């Protein structure tokens, strides 16, 4: 009996502790003046808040409508913010007869109008992708945060937190600047209060909060400002498709159709084809789009207008708050197509220079192009998506480095893939890459062959599109995605207890320094080459197993960059007479690695090599 009493007491105490506060949150917690869209929808969450009447009084702000939904713990307030509304604070009052009044002090802040604040990311840039938990631990005080579900730091496991954070990235901005990086893309920094594998960031539990183990909202804003001060741009990784199963609103849904619900758990098919297949069944299409990514990642119903507003406003809020230059869109093909098209228009209306590219890990050029803007004939509407992560070109480069040369195999795969660029409105907006956090590392995939490594890096940094390199590639970090996830290993030197510091020349092996210097030389040259930054691409059908392409500015032959890839075990002689239409009498070129001047009439191309010449 005594035991039952204790259990009952604990249950009552726990239940009382978990009661939703009268007014738990208002999101967005503040907004900005002079936005392009004057409409603002506030999500208000609190115990039985729907029974309250709402009033506010502030010049230039009108309460248009109070929306009640299925849950009594939510109200959605439609506001109209006049272009003449000034920055300031006003009170939103919630009253119910016979009960205490609730209030929230809402603030409007001035929209920042600096012309260079949100710069956009183009093929002039070189993106460095990193996972903040695995890059550097700059603040050990936030390694474990009391109250969060994962309270363990274990660097011996790939599935636990390692302690890296935003301050660690800030501490190494000069390293990235020296390497030739112009843009940093971190995997999501947003709160992931999940009991396991919370480090990766793709299972958000609070859309408006930086994970406290990474830092604070204020620190993230400072990180962006510090990057801009050093001439670096920032890409934010965002997830439309799903949330984490410990998200605060998953545990108290505003309405049943806030999520894509199924009679029994249904996982996505992970097949992009039904979205574009003219012969597809509606059942296959629904399973792809509405199925959950994994059981711990509930699928948001993006056909719900409240969900649409919530996501769109959240992304606008982060961009304006922090001054972000670009967005990478996770799992793009899994999202509702019509919503994503509307979302893109709304974001570019607010931020015309913002850059956006979507993750499309698909298997053909046509499949990638299907998701990009301008393909209205096939879709019936325009997605307005500027670019995608070019996984098909990545696969072609692997084939070019590892395969046996044939009619459409080996080096010819690269040529054939780029020959299909006519399917894109602008292929230069595609983000090109060799690997990322979800796949085996590039150096492992070329069997740690350093010659192949240099050829791959050369193509990455001289090809059309926006190049992205995964952290550690510059120091030959390796490993495969399965079975142990070591592709997400720590960057050695980012922790005070590390025995070696790979951020320094002294801490790297001679081979690692050679790789670092190779990337650095090419990346920094790229920043000075107009041809590589904004020039056109002209490629030639591979002959004698040599793949040749040029980057050039029309009608300006000087400064043209010629790249020659020889993926064979034989030295070759390249007769450049067939390139006369572009060379226009130029006979010499400078090797950008050695500085030596070469006569280009008869070029000697070493076996297993990449030759990069600036023609002059």
Residues with active-site annotation: 330, 359
Q: How far, CA to CA in Å, does 493 sit from each of 34, 181, 200, 496?
A: 45, 19, 20, 7
Cα Rg, the chain, nearest whole Å: 27
- All residues at 6 or more sequence positions from 148 whose CB lies less than 8 Å from its CB, including other chains: 193, 198, 212, 213
β-strand pairing of 597-599 with 536-543: unpaired
- All residues at 6 or more sequence positions from 153 whose CB lies less than 8 Å from its CB, including other chains: 143, 144, 160, 161, 162, 163
**What whole-number distance in Å separates Cα of residue 76 and Cα of residue 242?**
21
Strands (E), 28-150: 30-32, 39-45, 53-56, 61-68, 74-81, 88-95, 102-109, 127-130
**What whole-number distance in Å separates Cα of residue 241 and Cα of residue 337?**
11
Given phi > 0 = left and psi -120 to 50 = alpha, else beta, which region is 141?
A: alpha
- All residues at 6 or more sequence positions from 552 whose CB lies less than 8 Å from its CB, including other chains: 531, 535, 536, 538, 559, 560, 561, 582
Nearest to 549 by CA among 534, 562, 535, 568: 562
**What whole-number distance in Å separates Cα of residue 354 and Cα of residue 527?**
21
- All residues at 6 or more sequence positions from 125 whose CB lies less than 8 Å from its CB, including other chains: 182, 183, 233, 466, 467
- Rounded to 10°, the helix 391-402/411-418 angle is 160
- Rounded to 10°, the helix 450-462/510-528 angle is 20
DSSP state of 180: T
For 129, the token pair is: 């992708």
| First vs last C-alpha separation in the chain | 93
216 within 8 A of 210, measured Cβ to Cβ: yes
Backbone angles phi, psi at 321, to 5 degrees: -65, -45
- All residues at 6 or more sequence positions from 424 whose CB lies less than 8 Å from its CB, including other chains: 368, 369, 372, 374, 430
DSSP state of 292: B
**Cα atoms in the Cβ-side hemisphere of radius 13 Å centred on 391:** 15
For 451, the token pair is: 């010659």
The residues pairing with 562 across neighbouring beta strands, listed in sequence order, are: 550, 613
- Sheet of strand 387-388: strand arrangement: 387-388, 355-358, 326-329, 233-238, 183-186, 127-130, 466-470, 431-433
């Amino acid at each position: 009996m005594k035991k039952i009493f204790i259990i009952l007491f604990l249950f009552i105490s726990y239940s009382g502790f978990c009661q939703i506060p009268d007014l738990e949150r208002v999101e967005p917690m503040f907004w900005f003046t002079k936005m392009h869209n004057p409409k603002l929808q506030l999500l208000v969450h609190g115990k039985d808040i729907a029974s309250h009447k709402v009033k506010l009084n502030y010049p230039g702000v009108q309460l248009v409508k109070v929306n009640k939904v299925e849950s009594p713990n939510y109200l959605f307030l439609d506001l109209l913010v006049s272009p003449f509304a000034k920055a300031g604070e006003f009170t939103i009052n919630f009253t119910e007869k016979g009960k205490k009044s609730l209030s929230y002090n809402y603030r409007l802040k001035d929209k920042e109008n600096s012309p260079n604040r949100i710069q956009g990311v183009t093929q002039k840039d070189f993106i460095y992708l990193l996972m903040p938990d695995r890059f550097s631990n700059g603040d050990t005080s936030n390694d474990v945060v009391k109250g969060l579900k994962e309270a363990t730091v274990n660097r011996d496991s790939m599935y636990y937190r390692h302690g890296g954070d935003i301050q660690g990235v800030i501490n190494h901005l000069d390293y990235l600047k020296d390497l030739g990086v112009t843009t940093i893309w971190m995997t999501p920094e947003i709160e992931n209060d999940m009991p396991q594998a919370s480090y990766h960031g793709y299972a958000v539990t609070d859309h408006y909060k930086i994970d406290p183990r990474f830092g604070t909202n204020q620190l993230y804003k400072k990180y962006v400002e510090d990057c801009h001060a050093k001439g670096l741009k920032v890409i934010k990784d965002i997830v439309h498709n799903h949330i984490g199963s410990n998200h605060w609103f998953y545990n108290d849904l505003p309405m049943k159709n806030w999520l894509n619900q199924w009679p029994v758990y249904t996982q996505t098919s992970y097949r992009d084809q039904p979205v574009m297949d003219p012969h597809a069944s509606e059942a296959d299409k629904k399973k792809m789009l509405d199925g959950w990514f994994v059981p711990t990642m509930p699928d948001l119903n993006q056909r719900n207008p409240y969900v649409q507003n919530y996501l769109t406003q959240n992304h606008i809020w982060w961009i304006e708050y922090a001054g972000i230059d670009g967005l990478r869109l996770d799992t793009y093909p899994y999202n509702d197509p019509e919503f994503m098209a509307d979302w893109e228009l709304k974001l570019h209306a607010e931020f015309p220079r913002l850059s956006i590219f979507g993750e499309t890990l698909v298997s053909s050029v046509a499949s990638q192009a299907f998701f990009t803007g301008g393909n209205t004939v096939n879709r019936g509407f325009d997605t307005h998506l500027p670019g995608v992560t070019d996984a098909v070109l990545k696969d072609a480069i692997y084939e070019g480095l590892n395969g046996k040369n044939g009619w459409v195999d080996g080096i010819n795969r690269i040529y054939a893939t780029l020959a299909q660029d006519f399917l894109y409105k602008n292929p230069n907006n595609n983000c090109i890459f060799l690997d990322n956090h979800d796949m085996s590392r590039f150096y492992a995939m070329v069997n740690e062959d350093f010659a192949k490594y240099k050829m791959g890096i050369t193509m990455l940094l001289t090809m059309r599109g926006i190049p992205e390199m995964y952290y550690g590639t510059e120091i030959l970090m390796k490993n495969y995605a399965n079975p142990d996830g070591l592709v997400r290993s720590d960057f050695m030197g980012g922790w005070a207890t590390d025995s070696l510091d790979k951020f320094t020349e002294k801490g790297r092996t001679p081979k690692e320094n050679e790789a670092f210097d190779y990337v650095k030389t090419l990346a920094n040259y790229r920043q000075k080459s107009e041809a590589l930054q904004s020039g056109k691409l002209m490629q030639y059908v591979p002959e004698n197993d040599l793949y040749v392409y040029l980057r050039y500015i029309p009608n300006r032959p000087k400064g043209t960059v010629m790249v020659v890839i020889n993926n064979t075990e034989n030295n070759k002689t390249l007769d450049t007479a067939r390139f006369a239409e572009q060379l226009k009498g130029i006979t010499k070129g400078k090797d950008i690695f050695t500085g030596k001047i070469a006569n280009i009439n008869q070029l000697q191309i070493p076996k297993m090599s990449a030759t990069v010449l600036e023609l002059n």
